[in-house]
Structure 1
Amino acid sequence: MDPITHALSGALLARAAAAPPSSQRHPEQTDLPLRLQVTAGFIAAAFPDVDLVLRLIDTLTYLNWHQGPTHSLILLPLWAWLLAWLFSGFSRGRYAWKLFYRSACLGLAIHIAGDLITSYGLMLFAPFSIERFSLPLAFVIDPWFSLIIIAGLVVSWRYPQRRIPSIAALAGLCGYGIFLWTLHQQAVKIAIRHANAYAMPHAQINVLPQPLSPFHWKIIIRHDENYQLALVNLGQTTNQQQDPTALLLSRVAAAYRPVAENDWQIHPQFGDDPTTMALVREAWLHPVLEPFRAFAAFPVLERIEISEQGLCVWFYDLRFKFPELPPSFRYGVCRQDSYSDWEIFRQRGLFYID
């Protein structure tokens, strides 16, 4: 999820879990005020993305460790204690760290849950394991998800004595998650039917949520060294004419087609030219590209080119290729001639994170 939605979700959960504020609070009471509980949840839910500082090292370090230890269930109690201690310090010792601990735990937990339903993958058991886990149901920016949270917070602010609005909003998020799960299962069934129809019994099937609509899904079927990919719109049953003069977002949305169109594309991992496959494979397996290999879930050749660096072989990850836009996180290796060694390079994209 995006950082703002994460932070707001922490505030919402902290509000739902907080006891109703007392109207007869005495100065000597040490209960944590509601506004501080909500603030602690808000900040704690934003905290795991502090791993953005890894960009100061380099982009591949960030990509390989983003949603890593700061998103770990094992380390959650430690991060919660650290945040609670900092919150207590900022209150100049007026409130003990234990009073902030629950809100910090809730903020961290809902951040982890929010990222778990995206396609990037979390190191839930770091530092004991760097294996990533994901249940890809929602795109990283989901307006409906954000609107449910905002609505719950607005109504909670309007009625500060009641927890019902925040609890109802959390229930709405759960209901929306179930709806996304049903769409995910529809996309999986489409992939299974296609794999069976083309005799790919051991194919690897992945379905990924896409931007602009919860009905937009990317289906990736890997068989041997080839990917078969389809962009489907589960909410559309009739064909709509694509307009090349439409605005960018309209063209992006139009690329997701009804299931009946069965518009499958084939992406060979090492290209479709037999004369260059050995070169591409050599470039891909070179040790200098190992950090990108560790990151890429669905790597594919983008192009081979002659540039000022010499001969270059460029790759990208199918997860980060969207219609009408160049791929994000493109990496390649270049060499001056067949006697020189490969060097890694990054191709910048449209977005800052690229």
Structure 2
Amino acid sequence: MDPLTHALSGALLVRAAEPVLPKMQALPLRARLIAGFTAAAFPDIDVALRLVDTLSYLNWHQGPTHSLVMLPLWAFLLAQLFSRVTRSHYSWRLFFIPACLGMAIHIAADLITAYGLMLLAPFSTERFSVPLAFVIDPWFSVIVISGLVMSQIFPQKQSVAGLALACLGFYVVFLGTLHGRAKNIGLAYAGKMALTHAEISVLPQPFSPFNWKIIVPEGEIYHILLVNLGRSSWAPFPDIGLLSRMDTVYRPQTMANWQQLDRFGDSPADATLVREAWHQPALADFRRFAIFPQLDRIDTSEKGVCVWFYDLRFKFPLLPPSFRYGSCREQGSAHWYLQRQKGAFWID
């Protein structure tokens, strides 16, 4: 989720937990909310890795700061910080629970996106993900903001924040049903194409909870469908800009067409070069990051050649792929080196 929604959700959970955790009320309401807000924003402090280099950030984002194992440690450190900021007017113990709640809801919200969390760090770098929601989900944000606003308007109604959390829960269940429908489409296609051992991946897409990308791998071939599960018919939308054109790419199931992409491109003449570039040590960190690697293009010039790759998780209609990395070498040299190409967003 986006950082602001994360932070606000922490404040909402702290507000909702008041009836069942009355000890928190030893802290003033403002202090509790600020603690929950700050703790829910804290895990994304790993964005500082972006100052080192983008690949370090990509491989360690949603890593140790998003670990359930390390959550108590981070909450303890944050509680100590909050206590010091208040000049010891309140014990760190009073801040510990709000800090835990804020971090917990951040982890839960990121778990339902496609990136993947190292929940067991530092004991394991395995990533866990239940991809139900796109990283920016306006409906999720609206529910969180509405819950906070209503709990402020009706401060005596302690159930208001809890009701908003229940709405979030129902919304996630709704996303789960859409995820299941998308996966069934992929399973039906795999059965039709006799892809008996294919692992079906479904990824939430921008603009609408009904927009999904379905990926059915077949060796080095990806079968891809962009589909909208909420539309029964389709007609061109008024062209009011790039976003409207992007959204029209997601069509109803009856009108959506499967595409096939070869991981290393569809040119046999370039296959040897592309594979050589892909397996170079220079791309080792990118290979570790990319779940669905795909050839972007080959740039050749008098100076040399660059073979560019991206991850299908971060390719959206009509936009250049995010996180593109190339394996390059100069003319006459056998040495390959890493290059990065900027995309449409600042984090690229």
Where 2:189 maps in the other structure, the secondary structure is: helix
Q: How does 1:108-257 map onto structure 2 within 5 Å?
A: 108-241=103-236, 245-257=239-251
Q: 1:27: which partner in 2?
A: none
Whether 1:263 and 2:257 are equivalent positions in the alignment is yes
Alpha-carbon distance between aligned partners in 1 of 2:21 and 2:65, rounded to the nearest angstrom: 32
Deviation at 1:180, TM superposition (A): 0.2
Alpha-carbon distance between aligned partners in 2 of 1:54 and 1:14, rounded to the nearest angstrom: 29
Alpha-carbon distance between aligned partners in 1 of 2:146 and 2:47, rounded to the nearest angstrom: 28
Where 2:224 maps in the other structure, the secondary structure is: strand
Tell whether the 8 Å contact from 2:324 to 2:341 is kept in structure 1 after alignment.
yes
Alpha-carbon distance between aligned partners in 1 of 2:327 and 2:147, rounded to the nearest angstrom: 49
Q: Find the partner of 1:67 among 53, 62, 73.
A: 62
Tell whether the 8 Å contact from 1:233 to 1:256 is kept in structure 2 after alignment.
yes
Give, as a single letter, the amino acid of the residue that structure 2 aligns with 1:16.
Answer: A
Deviation at 1:340, TM superposition (A): 2.5
C-alpha RMSD of the superposition: 1.6
Whether 1:278 and 2:272 are equivalent positions in the alignment is yes
Tell whether the 8 Å contact from 1:230 to 1:265 is kept in structure 2 after alignment.
yes
Tell whether the 8 Å contact from 1:231 to 1:257 is kept in structure 2 after alignment.
yes
Whether 1:3 and 2:3 are equivalent positions in the alignment is yes
1:87-140 CA distance string (max 9 Å, x none): 000010000000000000000000000000000000000000000000000000
Alpha-carbon distance between aligned partners in 2 of 1:56 and 1:351, rounded to the nearest angstrom: 16
TM-score (norm 2): 0.97
Tell whether the 8 Å contact from 2:226 to 2:256 is kept in structure 1 after alignment.
no
Tell whether the 8 Å contact from 1:21 to 1:161 is kept in structure 2 after alignment.
no
Whether 1:82 and 2:77 are equivalent positions in the alignment is yes
Tell whether the 8 Å contact from 1:10 to 1:42 is kept in structure 2 after alignment.
yes
Tell whether the 8 Å contact from 1:203 to 1:221 is kept in structure 2 after alignment.
yes
Shift in CA distance, 224/58, structure 1 to aligned 2, threshold 3 Å? same
Shift in CA distance, 196/13, structure 1 to aligned 2, threshold 3 Å? same
Tell whether the 8 Å contact from 1:20 to 1:161 is kept in structure 2 after alignment.
no
Alpha-carbon distance between aligned partners in 2 of 1:276 and 1:130, rounded to the nearest angstrom: 35
Where 1:182 maps in the other structure, the secondary structure is: helix
Deviation at 1:241, TM superposition (A): 2.9
Alpha-carbon distance between aligned partners in 1 of 2:303 and 2:16, rounded to the nearest angstrom: 57
Deviation at 1:239, TM superposition (A): 2.5
Alpha-carbon distance between aligned partners in 2 of 1:314 and 1:58, rounded to the nearest angstrom: 18
Give, as a single letter, the amino acid of the residue that structure 1 aligns with 2:278.
Answer: W
Tell whether the 8 Å contact from 1:18 to 1:37 is kept in structure 2 after alignment.
no
Whether 1:33 and 2:38 are equivalent positions in the alignment is no
Give, as a single letter, the amino acid of the residue that structure 2 aligns with 1:296.
Answer: A
Give, as a single letter, the amino acid of the residue that structure 2 aligns with 1:165.
Answer: V
Alpha-carbon distance between aligned partners in 1 of 2:45 and 2:13, rounded to the nearest angstrom: 20
Deviation at 1:350, TM superposition (A): 1.5
1:195-238 CA distance string (max 9 Å, x none): 11011001121000000000000001111001011100000111
Q: 1:25: which partner in 2?
A: none
Alpha-carbon distance between aligned partners in 2 of 1:318 and 1:20, rounded to the nearest angstrom: 43
Give, as a single letter, the amino acid of the residue that structure 1 aligns with 2:345.
Answer: F
Q: 1:295: which partner in 2?
A: 289
Whether 1:335 and 2:342 are equivalent positions in the alignment is no
Alpha-carbon distance between aligned partners in 2 of 1:242 and 1:274, rounded to the nearest angstrom: 39
Give, as a single letter, the amino acid of the residue that structure 2 aligns with 1:141.
Answer: I
Where 2:320 maps in the other structure, the secondary structure is: coil
1:169-217 CA distance string (max 9 Å, x none): 0000000000000000000000000011011001121000000000000
Tell whether the 8 Å contact from 1:49 to 1:67 is kept in structure 2 after alignment.
yes
1:296-318 CA distance string (max 9 Å, x none): 11000011111475111000110
Alpha-carbon distance between aligned partners in 2 of 1:228 and 1:275, rounded to the nearest angstrom: 22
1:302-347 CA distance string (max 9 Å, x none): 1111147511100011011101111000000111135321111001
Alpha-carbon distance between aligned partners in 1 of 2:148 and 2:337, rounded to the nearest angstrom: 50
Deviation at 1:246, TM superposition (A): 4.1
TM-score (norm 1): 0.95
Q: 1:26: which partner in 2?
A: none
Divergent runs of 4+, >6 A: none
Alpha-carbon distance between aligned partners in 2 of 1:307 and 1:140, rounded to the nearest angstrom: 38
Where 2:200 maps in the other structure, the secondary structure is: strand
Greater Cα shift, 307-316 or 46-55: 307-316
